[in-house]
Structure formats: C-alpha cells, structure tokens
Amino acid sequence: MIKLYGSYRSRATRPLWLLAELGIPFEHIPVVQAKRLENPLASGAPINTQSEAFLSVNPMGTIPSMEDGDVKVHESLAITLYLAKKYGGDLGPRDVAEDAAMMQWSLFVATEIETTALKISYASLGEQTDETRATMEAAAAALIRSFDVLEKHLEARTWMVGERFTAADINVAEIVRYAQPYAPLFETRPALKGWLERAQARPAFKAMWEKRLAEPASGPV
C-alpha cells in the first residue's frame, strides 16, 4: 500500500489532493515540521521532520515523502507525477508529449512562481501593515511575466494539458494558490482566474482542503 508522509499544512497537499482524486487506498502517516514543536527531539514528541523514524525514510527531513513498495519519492511534484503515471489513468500523461508538458508546467511554476508567490501568502497573514502591503505589491509585480504566460496558455484551453484535468493542474494550482490573497493579479487575468476556480471547485480539492483546515496552523504552504 502507498504510504504518504506529511501534514496537510505542507506541500503534501499536492499528492494528497491527487490521492483524493484517484480514490485509491493509501496510508497517511502524519509528520509535522520540526519548527512547529517546542522540542522536536523530546521524548513523546510527535513524529516530525527531525525524528529518527522519519529521517530513515527521507534523510533530508522534508515533507512530503512517499513509499510505494520499494519505491521512495521525496519531492511533492515528483510524487504527484509518479502517482499520476502509475495509477492515474487520464490524470496522468497519455503519451511522451503529454508527459513532457506535465513536467514542463510543474517545473515552470516551481522555479518561476513558487518562491515569489509565497511572499504574498506569508505577507497576507495577520494584521496588514504598510510593510506587508509593500511586500505583496512587490511580489505581485515580479510575478507579472509568469502569470501572463499562464494566462495566455489558458485563454485557449480549459486545463493545463490535454484538455482534461490532470496532475499538472494540481501541481500548478497548488503553487498559484499562494498568490491568491493578492486579488489584482487574478482580476486582470480572467482565464487564469477561471481555471483556478474550476480546479478548486473539484470535490477532491474541497475534501483535501477541509482536512487541511482541521490541522493546527503552521504557515501558508
């Protein structure tokens, strides 16, 4: 059986959303970020990213991680693409061209959008000040080119790859989500906004998100 290590308030949302779409049995092993604990190495501390038990699974001590029999995968985007290829049917690629497209868009958002969009997500937490608003505006300005690329791509299609919902939509949506608190980025890009709304309206996303909200807060990821 698939084992998925991580918390819902982490990048594990990506494979957890996909697993909800697939509806296949898996074991979720909660692993929290060590930074959330006063003493992650204390006796009786919950399994966390500094626990020896978890480090034996992933020596880097990052979540999520996945085990599928003898296969171990540690990066969230790679886990999602692996699961889609092996178990996903039409959620995965139908041919090598679609495989390349799914990898391309997953890597694009990871390298061009994620770090900057997270600045918006973090700045949106708590009381808004001139400083946090300035941070969000600067991050939004840095995202214009990348968001315009997504807008142009989605103007002529409903989903990211192959005119059907796939793992690529999950990988992209879960990174673009970080910028959602800055509404102007989406108000001027209707194709991108509509696509994200369609993705987040899916029952599997809503089920995943409900479980995420039930966890203690640990930051925006």
Report in angstroms the alpha-carbon separations of 194 from 151, 159, 190. 10, 10, 6
d(CA 125, CA 108): 26
Specify whether 159 is located in the same domain as 117.
yes
Specify whether 114 is located in the same domain as 45.
no
Domain membership flag for residue 220: no
Report in angstroms the alpha-carbon separations of 21 from 52, 75, 95, 122, 175. 32, 19, 21, 28, 18
CATH of the domain at 68: 3.40.30.10
Specify whether 133 is located in the same domain as 188.
yes
* Backbone phi and psi for residue 49, each to the nearest 5 degrees, phi listed first: -75, -5
Domain membership flag for residue 184: yes
Specify whether 70 is located in the same domain as 6.
yes
CATH of the domain at 154: 1.20.1050.10
Specify whether 72 is located in the same domain as 97.
no
pLDDT along the chain (221 residues), means of 10: 96 98 96 91 91 95 97 97 97 98 98 98 94 97 98 97 97 98 97 98 98 81 71
Strand partners, 164: 161
Confidence at residue 203, expressed as pLDDT on a 0 to 100 scale: 98
Query: Do β-strands 26-29 and 65-68 pair in parallel, antiparallel, or remain unpaired?
Result: unpaired
For 140-172, b/e burial (b = at least 16 CB within 10 A) is: bebbeebbeebbebbeeeebbbbeebbbbbbbb
Specify whether 83 is located in the same domain as 99.
no
Domain residues for the domain of 80 are 2-90
d(CA 189, CA 71): 40
Specify whether 29 is located in the same domain as 83.
yes
Specify whether 194 is located in the same domain as 107.
yes
d(CA 20, CA 142): 33
Domain membership flag for residue 108: yes
Specify whether 141 is located in the same domain as 60.
no
Specify whether 83 is located in the same domain as 160.
no
Domain membership flag for residue 153: yes
Domain membership flag for residue 59: yes
- How many domains does the structure of the chain reveal? 2
Predicted TM-score of the model (pTM): 0.95
Residue with tokens 């505006």: 137
Confidence at residue 218, expressed as pLDDT on a 0 to 100 scale: 61
Domain membership flag for residue 129: yes
Confidence at residue 217, expressed as pLDDT on a 0 to 100 scale: 74
Domain membership flag for residue 211: no
- Those residues with Cβ within 8 angstroms of residue 171's Cβ, 6 or more apart along the chain or in another chain: 14, 77, 80, 81, 102, 105, 106, 109, 110
Confidence at residue 129, expressed as pLDDT on a 0 to 100 scale: 96
Specify whether 137 is located in the same domain as 196.
yes
- Those residues with Cβ within 8 angstroms of residue 40's Cβ, 6 or more apart along the chain or in another chain: 34, 48, 49, 50, 51
Work out the number of other CB atoms within 10 angstroms of the CB of residue 177: 19
